[in-house]
Amino acid sequence: MQPLHVDSHVFSDSIVVEAHGAVDVSTAETLEYRLRSALAASGGRRMLVLDLARVEFFGTVGLQLLIWADQECRERDVTLWVVATDRAVLRPIEVSGLTGRFHITSTMPPVNEYAVAEQQTA
What is residue 118's predicted lDDT score, i.e. its pLDDT? 47
82 closest CA partner among 95, 99, 97, 96? 99
pLDDT of residue 114: 47
Say if strands 5-10 and 118-121 run parallel, antiparallel, or are unpaired: antiparallel
d(CA 116, CA 112): 8
pLDDT of residue 108: 87
Hey, where are the domains in the chain?
Answer: 5-111
pLDDT reported for residue 113: 55
Any long-range contacts for 39-43 (C-beta under 8 Å, 24+ apart)?
A: 39/69, 39/72, 39/73, 39/76, 39/78, 41/10, 41/15, 41/118, 42/15, 42/76, 42/78
Q: What is the pLDDT of residue 122?
A: 52
Q: What pLDDT, on a 0 to 100 scale, did the predictor assign at position 117?
A: 46
The whole-number pLDDT of residue 116 equals 47
Q: Is 42 helix (H, G, I), strand (E, B) or coil?
A: coil
Residue 97 falls in which region: left (phi positive, over 0), alpha (psi -120 to 50) or beta: left
Residue 115: the pLDDT is 47
Rounded distance, CA 40 to CA 100, Å? 26
The segments of the chain whose pLDDT lies below 70 read 112-122
- The CATH class of 5-111 is alpha beta
Check residue 25 and report its DSSP letter: T
Q: For the segment 83-92, what is each residue's pLDDT rounded down to a tens digit?
A: 999 999 999 9
